[in-house]
Amino acid sequence: MSAEVRTAEGGTVHAAGTPVRRRGEALESAIYGAALQQLTTDGYARLTMEGVAAAAQTGKAALYRRWSSKEELVMDALRAALPPARPAPDTGSLRGDLLEVVAGLRAAMFSDLGAAVRAIMSEIDHQRARVFLELVQEQVVDPTTALIAEVLDRGTARGEVRPGAVSPLVTDVVPALMLYRIKLCGGGAVELDPAEIVDEVLLPIVRR
């Protein structure tokens, strides 16, 4: 196999002189992956464009052609990694549906993406974190509260939920509780047991 040298423009060159470059989605995916990995291992403050470029095996120029700052890069990396909205579960019971929703939210919070978001939230002040918080609200929290509302509305139709019990305040309870336990109490996945949250918090609020 011939030797290769990495170029400043984001590719490699064989000893014979033929450039070999990743372009488009392949290069972008490598950059996003490197940015999220740096966030989870080193934190936001220590993340640098140079470090991301090195981890993605590309050059700084490839990053700066697309993003003028690490904030822009991290925002796009988070957007690319966020999963699409999923349909509400339908297990046939209110408790079963709520367990699936809460378990899904917990999995998201303790995924690699969740770890990257927590690194950002724990390191930067509220004003600088606002843009990241808005993204999490729009892509994670709002879809979760919508799922909870749909599940509770279905439970109301089946007679499992007290009429008038479903409100924005009620649908906010689960994500608010989980974020509080993680951010302010240092809670881990064990402390966020879906059965406890559903049985001890949510169901007593909405049941007949």
Check which CATH number belongs to the domain holding 75 and give it.
1.10.357.10
- 103-to-52, 53, 110, 193, 206 alpha-carbon distances in Å: 32, 35, 11, 8, 19
Residue ending a domain, choose from 53, 80, 107: 80
Residue ending a domain, choose from 80, 103, 137: 80
Burial (Cβ within 10 Å: 0-12, 13-18, ≥19) of residue 44: buried
Residue 94, both tokens: 């209110």
- Mean residue pLDDT across the chain: 84
Say yes or no: 114 and 175 in one domain.
yes
Say yes or no: 160 and 112 in one domain.
yes
Say yes or no: 99 and 198 in one domain.
yes
Say yes or no: 75 and 88 in one domain.
no
Say yes or no: 199 and 115 in one domain.
yes
DSSP string, 105-135: HHHHHTSHHHHHHHHHHHHS-HHHHHHHHHH
Q: Which pTM value belongs to this model?
A: 0.76
pLDDT band for 187, please (50, 70, 90 cuts).
low
Return the residue matching tokens 């423009």: 9
Say yes or no: 22 and 87 in one domain.
no
Question: What per-residue confidence (pLDDT) applies to 45?
Answer: 87
Which domain covers residue 65, as residue numbers? 4-80
Do 49 and 63 form a contact (C-beta atoms < 8 A)?
A: yes
In total, how many domains does the chain have? 2
Question: What per-residue confidence (pLDDT) applies to 1?
Answer: 43
- CA geometry: angle 65, 48, 6, nearest 5 deg: 60
Is the pLDDT assigned to residue 206 strictly greater than 70?
Answer: yes
- CA geometry: angle 8, 11, 13, nearest 5 deg: 95
Say yes or no: 190 and 107 in one domain.
yes
pLDDT band for 161, please (50, 70, 90 cuts).
very high
pLDDT in tens, 76-86: 999 998 888 88
Residue ending a domain, choose from 80, 114, 139: 80
Is the pLDDT assigned to residue 183 strictly greater than 90?
Answer: no
Question: What per-residue confidence (pLDDT) applies to 123?
Answer: 72
Dist CA 88 CA 81 (whole Å): 21
Question: What per-residue confidence (pLDDT) applies to 19?
Answer: 35
